[in-house]
Each structure stands twice: as C-alpha cells, then as structure tokens.
Amino acid sequence: MKRKPTVAIVGAGSLATFLAVALNDAGFTITEIIARDKPRSRRHAGALAVKVGAKAVTAHSAALDATLLWFCVPDREIRGAASALAGNLAARVAAHRNGRVPNRAPSKVPNKVSSKIRFAFHSSGALLSRELGPLRKAGIAVASIHPLMTFVAGTHSSLMGVPFAVEGDRAAMQVARRIIHKLGGESFSLPAARKAAYHAWATLTSPLLLAFLVTLEEAARAAGFTRKDARRKSLPIIRQTLANYSRLGPAPSFSGPLVRGDADTVAKHLAALKKHPGAREVYLALARTALRGLPVQNREGLRRLLRG
C-alpha cells in the first residue's frame, strides 16, 4: 500500500491504548475503538477514542470502514472477536446488496456501505495468525504482530528500536513491516513452528524477570530488609549488571562466588536460605544454570554442593 492504512483498534486495554496513541502520533488515522458491550469496556473505549479522534463502538455497531483491523485483546478472546467482526462484516455486505443496513434505524442508513478492510493483525506473542481465520475466510490478509516490549498501566514505553515478531500472510506481513518502521520499531519474521518457543523467551525477558526480582526481595527479607528497602538498595547493582551485559555480554559480566569457585560461601548462602525455601530453590536453579553456561571455577565441587 502506498498510503498509510486507516486503523480500527479492537480492545481498549493497556496495549490497545499505547498502540492507538503511537499510531496516531505517527500519522495513522484511527477510525474506531471497538470494545465489548459492557459499561467498563465502553468507558475505556470512549476515553481512548477521545485521545486519538476515533469513534468508540462495539462489535455490533462498528462501521468497519478502516483498511486494517488490529486486535489488542486477551489471547482467549481473539478468535471470538474475529468471528463476531467477520459476522458483522458479512451481514453488512449482504445487507448492502439488498439495499439496506442491518440493525440501524432508517434515518441512519448511509447511502453506501463499503467493505474497506483488507488486513487484520493480532498482537498475541503465543498464538498464530490463524486465530484470525474467520476474517481470512472473508478474503482478508492476516498476521500476528508481537512487540517484544512490556505495556502496563501508568507507564509509557518507547517503540524506538523495539523488535516486532511478524508471522502470517505475505501481504499482511509486508504492510506490518511498513507500519513497524513508521513506529520506529524493527521487524523480523518468525516461523509458525517457533512461535511458542519465542513466547517462552519473551516471557523470561520481563514477566519471569519480575518473578526473579520478587525472589530477590524474599532473600533480602532473610537478611532483615523490607521489600521496599530491598528494591531501593538493589537497583544500582541491577542497572550496572544490565549495562555490563549489554556492552560486554554474559561471560565477562559474571562475578561473585561462583566465578571464583568459592564453594564454602555458596554453602553458607544455602544454609541462610533454609527458612526461605522459595528463594533457595531459585538460587539453586540459577547456580546450576551458571555451571552450564558461565565461566565457573571449582566446577565439580560446586556441582556436588548444588545437588541438594
């Protein structure tokens, strides 16, 4: 497509909000925010629609006059939402052929009903583009477009340099790559067979990293610190570790008792964490991982210690 596609966003949560604003800021026209027909969903859709100059609608009332439908709903809702909109679209096209628009008062019937939708994306990291099968059957090219980034309420993530995993129909993927470029991101193709493994990796990068940080707070409690104090005191070394990892890679950034082969110190750690079995379990798992993939001295001695 030579011109920027117009976009209808399906959903009004954190990802939908961020994406709609980012697309609007990049010069894309957002036509509709399509939400569930529930008071809370309609309120969120209304607030988002105001931000981006769109209309807040439901699947039943959507005009579906955009070039692109972009689904930003929970994974379990993607296929159902695609089916509902495919049904809406089929009904509107059929009604247009018969000279009327369904479920609209006569005074609101437009002179022409045009099906402009050519593409549909969803942003699930785990599911394939085939979740949009009901729209694909209607002749719409589909793709899954997943940004490797976290989006939570109260934050404003940047898309500059963010990698997007792209999978699906060739035509939809081509459009997706151009949009990603306009947003400042970087796209890469992801084979369908690798999608689950990709999402496992993505889950480790942020959600399970946070799970590790919660474990860090638990270990700090064993040393007599509050969780809040643990966060404050840990951040400088966490930031420096990430900076080292970024610049040097994992092996040159590795420090501490394992790299020195100090089994006595590791034994003291394990003893101190006996009353905190969750933190001890994570410590053991990560220490064993270090033995497999990082430079460690006294490898055999540490391996024997870490069996228990």
Q: pLDDT for 71-94, tens place per residue?
A: 999 999 999 999 999 998 888 777
**Overall average pLDDT of the 94-112 stretch:** 53
pLDDT at 164 over 90: yes
Residue 13 and residue 25: Cα distance in Å, rounded? 18
pLDDT at 109 over 50: no
184 C-beta neighbours (distance < 10 Å), count: 13
Where does a domain end: 168, 194, 220? Answer: 194
pLDDT at residue 115, rounded to an integer: 64
Where does a domain end: 194, 224, 256? Answer: 194
Asked if residue 151 and residue 83 are part of one domain, the reply reads yes
Asked if residue 43 and residue 156 are part of one domain, the reply reads yes
Asked if residue 14 and residue 151 are part of one domain, the reply reads yes
Q: In what order do the strands lie in the sheet with 163-168?
A: 55-58, 30-35, 7-10, 68-71, 119-122, 141-147, 163-168, 186-189
| Residue 201 domain flag | no
Asked if residue 164 and residue 94 are part of one domain, the reply reads yes
pLDDT at 16 over 80: yes
- Please give the residue range of the domain that contains residue 181: 7-194
Asked if residue 216 and residue 186 are part of one domain, the reply reads no
Q: Are 28 and 5 in contact (CB under 8 A)?
A: yes
Asked if residue 214 and residue 80 are part of one domain, the reply reads no
Residue 227 and residue 217: Cα distance in Å, rounded? 5
**Overall average pLDDT of the 235-251 stretch:** 97
**Overall average pLDDT of the 38-54 stretch:** 96
Residue 144: CATH number of its domain: 3.40.50.720
Asked if residue 234 and residue 91 are part of one domain, the reply reads no
Asked if residue 155 and residue 17 are part of one domain, the reply reads yes
pLDDT at residue 106, rounded to an integer: 38
| Residue 2 domain flag | no
CA angle 37, 54, 12 (to 5 degrees): 45
Asked if residue 96 and residue 42 are part of one domain, the reply reads yes
Residue 266 and residue 241: Cα distance in Å, rounded? 20
Asked if residue 13 and residue 51 are part of one domain, the reply reads yes
| Residue 202 domain flag | no
**Overall average pLDDT of the 213-223 stretch:** 96
Asked if residue 176 and residue 272 are part of one domain, the reply reads no
**Overall average pLDDT of the 151-178 stretch:** 94
Reported as a pLDDT band with limits 50, 70 and 90, residue 102 is: low
pLDDT digits (tens, 9 = 90+) for 266-288: 999 999 999 999 999 999 999 99
Asked if residue 235 and residue 187 are part of one domain, the reply reads no
Q: Tally the domains of the chain.
A: 2
